[in-house]
């Protein structure tokens, strides 16, 4: 039973799991993820920072097996919107997942793919968040330090990014008066358009 795959050493400060692969996602990998496209282009012109990394362990694959990943999201915002992961549905829609907060403060945005109903659940040290079947999920760092977490999922879950890339999440988590708030994406865009129209009218 003693097998190198049975034990791993993870560092929640660096995002590294000893001897395992790490994927880096930079700002340029997150095109169309943020609600404010102008703010995104402005941020990208200023540089292409790493927004998050995921190190993963895949001890065995097949029915009943588990994989897990250590994620770290940097603190920061594009416009008013906090740094976030791309978000995905599991390719095998029945696959649930468990997230454990390790350090920092943030949210998991869960959105049912059929009803579109969404909920933002706090993710922090000491909390475990259950991602049910058929729920698109995105992780968001609303704090001032890196947010790290472990996600444990069936080995056959897979990632489906396409559905999210096409329509994005219905809700966005933005900073408002110094605090994170969850707002409807369309409402946010409408309010911004209305505000910029008022500004234009005032200038004329």
Sites for Zn ion among residues 119-178 (CB under 5 A): none
Q: For residues 158-177, which are near ligand PAN according to CB under 6 A? A: 159
Shortest Å distance, C-beta 137 to ligand PAN: 6
- Three-state SS at 81: strand
Task: Check: CB of residue 134 under 8 Å from CB of residue 149.
Answer: no
Task: Decide which of ligand PAN, Zn ion, none touches 87; Cβ closer than 5 to 8 Å per partner kind.
Answer: ligand PAN
Closest separation between CB of residue 114 and Zn ion, Å?
18
**Residues counted in the chain:** 204
Beta bridge pairs of residue 125: 101
**First and final CA of the chain: distance in angstroms?**
76
Spatial CA neighbour of 84 closest among 75, 95, 97 = 75
DSSP 83: P
Q: Which residues contact 77 (CB under 8 A, 6 or more apart)?
A: 83, 175
**Count of residues touching ligand PAN (by CB under 6 A):** 14
Rg from Cα positions in the chain: 18
Of the candidate residues 12, 57, 88, 142, the single one contacting ligand PAN (CB under 6 A): 88
Exactly one of 12, 15, 51, 87 binds ligand PAN (CB under 6 A); that residue is: 87
For ligand PAN, the closer of residues 96 and 192 by Cβ is 96
**Sign of the CA dihedral running 92, 69, 71, 49:** negative
Task: Convert residues 135-154 into a mask of x (bound to ligand PAN by CB under 6 A) and - (unbound).
Answer: --x-x-----------x-x-
Q: Work out what residue 139 binds among ligand PAN, Zn ion, none; the CB cut-off runs from 5 to 8 Å by kind.
A: ligand PAN
What is the pattern of x (binds ligand PAN, CB under 6 A) and - over residues 98-137? ---------------------------------------x
Neighbours of 130 (CB within 10 A): 12
54 binds, among Zn ion, ligand PAN, none (CB under 5 to 8 A by kind): ligand PAN
Residue with tokens 């009803």: 115
Which spans of this chain sit near Zn ion (rule: CB under 5 A)? 97
Which spans of this chain sit near ligand PAN (rule: CB under 6 A)? 54, 69, 71, 85-88, 97, 137, 139, 151, 153, 157, 159
């Amino acid at each position: 039973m003693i097998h190198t795959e049975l034990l791993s050493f993870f560092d929640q400060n660096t995002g590294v799991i000893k001897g395992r692969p790490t994927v880096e996602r930079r700002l340029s990998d997150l095109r169309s993820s943020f609600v404010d496209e102008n703010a995104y282009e402005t941020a990208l012109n200023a540089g292409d920072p790493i927004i998050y990394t995921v190190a993963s362990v895949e001890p065995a694959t097949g029915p009943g097996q588990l994989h897990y990943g250590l994620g770290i999201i940097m603190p920061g915002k594009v416009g008013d919107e906090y740094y976030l992961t791309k978000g995905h549905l599991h390719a095998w829609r029945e696959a649930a997942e468990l997230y454990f907060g390790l350090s920092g403060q943030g949210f998991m945005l869960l959105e049912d793919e059929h009803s579109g109903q969404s909920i933002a659940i706090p993710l922090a040290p000491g909390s475990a968040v259950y991602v049910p079947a058929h729920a698109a999920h995105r992780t968001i760092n609303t704090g001032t330090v890196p947010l790290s977490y472990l996600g444990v999922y069936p080995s056959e879950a897979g990632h489906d990014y396409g559905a999210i890339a096409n329509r994005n999440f219905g809700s966005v988590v933005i900073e408002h008066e110094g605090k994170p708030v969850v707002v409807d994406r369309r409402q946010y865009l409408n309010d911004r358009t209305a505000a910029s129209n008022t500004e234009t009218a005032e200038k004329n």
